[in-house]
Amino acid sequence: MKTPFAQRRRALRAKIAVKGLSGIVSTNPADWYYLTGFTGEAGALLILRKGAALVTDGRFTAQAEEETSGIRIVKQNGSLTSSVGTWLRGLGRGKIGFDAAQISVEQFRTLRRTAGARVRWVAAGGEIGSLRQVKEPSEIAQMRKAALLVGDVLSAALKLLKPGVSEIEIAAEIEYQMRSWGASGPAFETIVAFGTRSAHPHARPSEKRLRKNELVVLDLGVILGHYCSDITRTVFVGRAPARIRRWYRAVQEAQAAAVGAARAGITCGDVDAAARGVLAHYRLDKYFVHSTGHGLGLEVHEDPRVARGQKRVLVSGNVITIEPGVYVPGVGGIRIEDDVAVHAGRTEVLTQVPRNLIEI
Ligand SMILES: [Mn+2]
């Protein structure tokens, strides 16, 4: 079977060479899957100019042999970091890149001690992430499926919103549906927030029961075939008052403006500004307390960040969320989120659920 992993390792090696490194180490499972197909939970991957090694413990060595090819599987002996260091010491002289955001100070000290003085360590985070953020067509095809599935789960969940149900009950139904419809699980803990709780952008589901005349924010994502989706919709239980309608219209316009701005050649900061500008026009920008979106892929939050002032330019292959919101303490919150794929001449909205205010 033709897999993309060897080609991705070649692309990473080209970057390693440009940086003058002998190799790069990653302790992020999403990086291992991207570069080797390994789906285990513990280990460290070393991609060297020539060759690659995956250090993992006895729970995962057989799995690693089955899932990967062209990778040397090294069984962990002692701690993970001392095993990596000892293995590198055996290679001799070298300059190894590591991601300072992945490795703790204690782990770093062990790596340095066990690898010895002939191995130099260079902070070189973001090299694998910069490859991962430009999706291949087959990755976008998988993300399209993940986005359609989460839309179906969301649409089904809307039918369950009746006065008296609790946030936890809705979240449980949502996560049950995800798996029964083929997802390997939720991409993150499902957010179900009723009434004033919706003013907290990342409210955790509670025992709170739904009442009439409340806002409901549902924010959910699935992992399907290793790739994440992420969607948010806000509905009103009953007939929405004028103030809520106005806020909703503002968020909907802000979201449409940012989706319209998201195209190859535009900075992420400009996408963020498109949403923020609409909310400022409505004098609601002070209630928009987070960034406009984030990259999406093997992880639910990855590069590029779609935030204020971000200079990163969108390129064909980026997949990002666009999710502006307003959150008025003591009243409630409104957020609308879609996943979009940037192509050379167009931007494709992957999530397919209507965005107009739904009153139930
Ligand atoms: Mn999101």
Residue that the structure tokens 């260091």 belong to: 85
Distance 242 CA to ligand 1 centre (A): 27
SS3 107: helix
Distance 339 CA to ligand 1 centre (A): 8
Residue 191 in contact with residue 206, Cβ under 8 Å?
A: no
pTM greater than 0.85: yes
Distance 156 CA to ligand 1 centre (A): 20
283: left (phi over 0), alpha (psi -120 to 50) or beta: left
Which of 292, 227, 290 lies closest to 259, judged by CA?
Answer: 292
Contacts for 321 with CB less than 8 Å, ≥ 6 apart: 230, 293, 294, 296, 306, 337, 338, 339, 340
Distance 148 CA to ligand 1 centre (A): 15
- Mean pLDDT of all residues in 45-55: 96
End-to-end CA distance of the chain: 49
DSSP bridge pairs for 321: 339
Helix (H) or strand (E) holding 1: none
Distance 252 CA to ligand 1 centre (A): 16
- Mean pLDDT of all residues in 230-245: 97
- Mean pLDDT of all residues in 257-277: 98
Give CA–CA dist 177/41, Å, rounded.
25
Q: Which tens digits make up the pLDDT trace of 4-21?
A: 999 999 999 999 999 999
Distance 292 CA to ligand 1 centre (A): 9
φ and ψ at residue 203, rounded to 5 degrees: -65, 140
What one-letter code names the amino acid at 181?
W
Name the band, by pLDDT with cuts 50, 70 and 90, for residue 2. Answer: confident
Give CA–CA dist 48/233, Å, rounded.
44
Residue that the structure tokens 């806002």 belong to: 215
Residue 79 in contact with residue 70, Cβ under 8 Å?
A: no
Distance 189 CA to ligand 1 centre (A): 11
Distance 230 CA to ligand 1 centre (A): 5
Distance 209 CA to ligand 1 centre (A): 25
Distance 106 CA to ligand 1 centre (A): 32
Distance 223 CA to ligand 1 centre (A): 13
φ and ψ at residue 81, rounded to 5 degrees: -70, -35
Residue 92 has a pLDDT of 84
Residue 25 has a pLDDT of 97
Distance 280 CA to ligand 1 centre (A): 22
Distance 213 CA to ligand 1 centre (A): 26
Distance 305 CA to ligand 1 centre (A): 11
- Mean pLDDT of all residues in 310-328: 98
The DSSP string of 270-284 is HHHHHHHHHHHHTT-
pLDDT at residue 1 greater than cutoff 60: no
Structural tokens at position 82: 């001392």
Distance 73 CA to ligand 1 centre (A): 35
Distance 320 CA to ligand 1 centre (A): 9
Which of 235, 236, 241, 196 lies closest to 212, judged by CA?
Answer: 236
pLDDT at residue 59 greater than cutoff 60: yes
Distance 360 CA to ligand 1 centre (A): 24
Residue 182 in contact with residue 220, Cβ under 8 Å?
A: no
pLDDT at residue 240 greater than cutoff 90: yes
Distance 290 CA to ligand 1 centre (A): 11
Distance 337 CA to ligand 1 centre (A): 7
What percent of the chain lies above the pLDDT cut of 90?
97
Contacts for 271 with CB less than 8 Å, ≥ 6 apart: 258, 261, 262, 292, 293, 306, 314, 320, 322
The better pLDDT of the pair 83, 91 is held by 83
